[in-house]
Amino acid sequence: MTLGNKQRVKTLQLLNDEGPQSVSSIAKSLDAEQSSVSHSLSHLLQCHFVNVKRDGKERIYSINEDTVAPLFELIREHVEKYCLDGCEHWESEKKVFYGHKR
């Protein structure tokens, strides 16, 4: 399953929050190996979760704004409404969901 991998979800969150980025920039932000990020991005690209454009020698990845970005907004609204208070798993999952932004 494409979204069953935390690194892929973190990559999507990063692109959603920070905008288009290169593989090396994503790897640095996620403190991950560049080859691992490339592998994750290939899965996300196959399922059209991300788009890619060439910028010289670099490939710049962005989140699919038509379908995936709105899903993240719905998930964020749900989490803020139902999971912030009283959710026993929230503290451990908060960093995974929000990444480094919160």
Q: How far apart are CA 28 and CA 38, in angstroms?
A: 12
pLDDT at 4: 87
Q: How far apart are CA 27 and CA 70, in angstroms?
A: 24
Give 59 or 83, the one with higher predicted confidence: 59
Q: How far apart are CA 61 and CA 22, in angstroms?
A: 6
Percentage of the chain beyond pLDDT 70 is 81
In this predicted structure, the answer to whether residue 71 has a pLDDT above a threshold of 80 is yes
Phi, psi of 56 (to 5 degrees): 70, -125
Residue 12: pLDDT band with limits 50, 70, 90: very high
Interval 40-48 mean pLDDT: 96
Q: Where are the domains of the chain?
A: 2-63, 68-96
pLDDT at 101: 45
CB 42 within 8 A of CB 34: no
Strands (E), the chain: 21-22, 50-55, 58-63
The CATH number fitting domain 2-63, selected from 1.10.10.10, 1.10.274.10, 1.10.3720.10, 3.90.1170.50: 1.10.10.10
